Structure 1
Amino acid sequence: MSTLRTLLFTGGLLLTAQAAQAREINVPVPMEYGLIRSVLVNQLYTGAGETARVWKDGKQCSFLDLSQPQIGGEDGLVKIENHVQAKIGTALGNKCMTIVEWSGILQTFQQPTLDSTGNVLSFPVTRTQAYDGNGQALNIDQLLSLIKKAAEPKLASLKIDLNRARPDIAKSLLPFISAEHSEDWHDAVNSLRFNQAKADAKGLLLGVGYTANDRKSDGIKSSPVLTETELAQWRQLWQNWQGSVEQAIERTKLTAADESAKATMREVLEKAGSAFEQGLTGEYVAENDPVRKFFNSSWDKLAPLLRLASTQLPGGENLRYVTLVAATDLMYELESIGSPLGLEVSSNGLRKLARSLIAQEFPKTKTKGKRKHQQ
């Protein structure tokens, strides 16, 4: 579950890092169920049709499959609903004789639970219910026992362990933190603790506490315009990202009211691409900065739709793009308190972010070259 752990805190702490000027920090980290589901499917339900075989006998005559999980919240619990296909049989020579075969729905209700240290969040199953396609409750003792023995432990195995997650969190966010704050960032990650975990209809709300040093920034450092090589790399990243988001938009299940927002999203993405390239290749004073102008007019509308679309991407991809959206949110929110982590909503800030992303995607590529200038 390392991807899920990183996802939770990379997104959450980027969005709340503005608290780094205080000493004792408590921040809410929301996590939508759709995003959690996409990661779980990517890691657990790896069979055809989003299937997980949670039990089988040694003779291949019996099995228990879960598939197509849906995650939601109900009465303060996480509810996971699975399609179930089960068969219990016995071997007769080279053949299997079926004794019991059943298909239906399994619902597990799981309580977000913190350990005494605040380091581990788990989801023990508190109750289950299973019923067939006609809504009739499962009453076959053998299958009820098998679900309790095999399915419940599998679904309850989800844990978010801060002790194991800290290296991933620190590594994921460090490229977005200024050098003068890198030591403070590692100290903050080492002090992370859960202090609350609640489930509601929309998702999990985690309370995370950490300690941060009250260090003043020395100001924003200038970042030069991109070289021709860097610009080509950025264009490749942007085109790949925009293409993935376009595909995700088509897969996203939106309400009738939200459907009209698809065209708006495409239009704003086109404006973003144009504004970003101007900002990466030219120097501008504040009132004429194309990146600042774009965010002032469009980001509040675009960011929620991008997050929704990102939940439709495979687990590894949605981690990358949600992190990018969250990092941009960070710059947008932090500027009002003086950019304490050395980030800013401007062409200069975008160039820093672009170089961090390029370094991650093209780690062995030299970036020397003629600089592009555009006024």
Structure 2
Amino acid sequence: MFIFRPLLISLGLLISANTLAREVNVTVPLDYGLIRNVLISQLFTGEGQSARLWKDGKECSFLDLSNPQIAGQNGQIKIDNDVHAKFGAKMGGKCMTLVKWNGILETLQKPTLDKTGTVLSFPVTSTNAFDSKGQKLDIAQLQDLLQQVVAPKLADLKIDLNKSRDDIIKTLLPYVPAEDSEQLHDAVNSLRFNGVKVDDKNILLNLGFKANVKPADTHPVDALSADELLQWQTIWQDWQASLEKGIDQLPLTNEMAANRDTLHNVLQNAGTAFEQGLTVDHEKDHDPVRQFINESWDQLAPLLRSVSQQLPGAESLRYLTLIAATDLMYEVESIGSPFGLEISANGLRKIVRSYIKHNAGQAS
């Protein structure tokens, strides 16, 4: 049960998109709120964010978990779940309740890497159950069920790099020049977990990767032709329409809802800056693409972090990817230019041409 697969894909995109020329280690913090969103979207899919983890064949006995709460504790993650359990027997065609128990199941789970550095798992190291008054569970049958059925299912959570490498490559390939596609494959295949730690707010994943890197090409790249610009405008209009719809559908609280206009404005400014970068020659110190990133990020990043806490699992992790990738941008460019690309008008022109060429190949 690969609960965290959407998370892995997002992390893979972040790391592979910023591959460097040497062995590089990057620490990526995974907020517990984001992990909880993923857990709910993948496992707690029943009514009221619940999961029925066991039932008998007569529908008279069952065990439900709900409302998971995740935190860090002494180097492990602690997951508290509401428990609703009932044991019954069928008599005269009806279920008679014999035992009913409500309380909290607390599991401590130790993030653990396998020997290859490609699988992160969360084995359970301890389980405790308490009723609403804080009294420990003393029902032997229910204790056995929690140990033998529930704990193994929670322990089956995994982040498996091997299951996402193809997805990472497929997603990134349209944006990478054809001559650098082999480098992309090598970079993704080198991706490994090098370490994992837990603090009060996050799981801290240390990821390592290798790739050859080109020095940044400072030679001017030709502006888009009229035909290329028309193709780009069609692509951007489709993207913008999708993003605008997504912004309008964000489930924001009243306090955050006022920031929809900010998101819309940033998107409009992006379209203007990108088209200027693609079509107009400019001095290096007045690069419209870089200026847009520099001027917008301080305003946008805190908003995205707040918004991400209110979204379902996969969507919230896309925001995490954007935030982390942009935070790393300056560090990456200080070392070199991944896949010969850079955050600039020059870099954008290369990316757009690669994407247009890829689309043309897909259509033929």
Global fold match (TM > 0.5): yes
Q: CA offset at residue 125 of structure 1?
A: 0.7
Query: What's the counterpart of residue 51 of structure 1?
Result: 50
Q: 1:231 and 1:310 mapped to 2: Cα distance? A: 29
Distance change in 2, residues 1:7/1:358 (3 Å): farther
Quote the Cα distance in structure 2 between the aligned partners of 1:304 and 1:180. Answer: 37
From 298, 308, 311, the counterpart of 1:310: 308
CA contact (8 A) 1:61 1:88 kept: yes
For residues 9-45 of structure 1, the C-alpha deviation after alignment (integer angstroms, 9 at most, x for no partner) is 323444xx25x122x2322232222222222211111
Of 289, 293, 297, the residue aligned with 1:295 is 293
Counterparts of 1:347-358 in structure 2, within 5 Å, are 347-350=345-348
- How far residue 113 of structure 1 moved from its aligned partner, in angstroms, is 0.8
Partner Cα separation in structure 2 for residue 25 and residue 246 of structure 1: 38
DSSP-derived class of the 2:87 partner? strand
> Compared with structure 1, are the counterparts of its residues 242 and 195 closer, same or farther at alpha carbon in structure 2 (3 Å cutoff)?
same
2:163 counterpart residue number: 164
Aligned length in residues: 355
TM-score (normalised: structure 1): 0.81
Counterpart residue number, 1:107: 106
Percent of counterpart pairs with the same letter?
Answer: 50
Following superposition, the deviation at residue 60 of structure 1 comes to 0.6
Correspondent of 2:269 among 251, 274, 296: 274
What do the CA deviations read for 1:118-154 (whole angstroms, capped 9, x no partner)? 2221101111222222333222222111111121111
Query: Quick check: 1:28–1:205 contact (8 Å CA) kept in 2?
Result: yes
Deviation at 1:48, TM superposition (A): 1.5
Equivalent residue of 1:34, what SS?
helix
SS in 2 for 1:341: helix
TM-score by length of 2: 0.83
Whole-angstrom distance in 1 between the partners of 2:345 and 2:147: 56
- Paired residue for 1:343? 341
- Tell me, in whole angstroms, the C-alpha distance in 1 between the residues paired with 2:137 and 2:172: 47
Worse overlay, 110-119 or 265-274: 265-274
Point out where structure 1 has 5 or more consecutive residues left out of the alignment.
253-258, 367-375
Question: Is contact 1:73–1:79 with CA below 8 Å preserved after alignment?
Answer: yes
Gaps in structure 2 of 5+ consecutive residues = none
1:244 aligns with 2:246: yes
Give the 3 Å change call, closer, same or farther, for CA 333–273 of structure 1 in structure 2: farther
Q: 1:117 maps to which residue?
A: 116
**Mapping 1:22-37, distance limit 5 Å:** 22=22, 24-37=23-36
Q: Distance in 2 between matches of 1:52 and 1:284?
A: 57
In 1, Cα distance between equivalents of 2:200 and 2:100: 34
Structure 1 pair 326–239 and aligned structure 2 pair: CA distance change class (3 A): farther
CA contact (8 A) 1:265 1:305 kept: no
User: 1: distance between equivalents of 2:87 and 2:208?
Assistant: 48
RMSD of aligned alpha carbons: 3.3
Deviates more, 1:200-209 or 1:357-366: 357-366
Using a 3 Å threshold, how does the CA distance of structure 1 residues 169 and 275 change in structure 2: closer, same or farther?
Answer: closer
Whether contact under 8 Å (2:9, 2:167) holds in the other structure is: yes
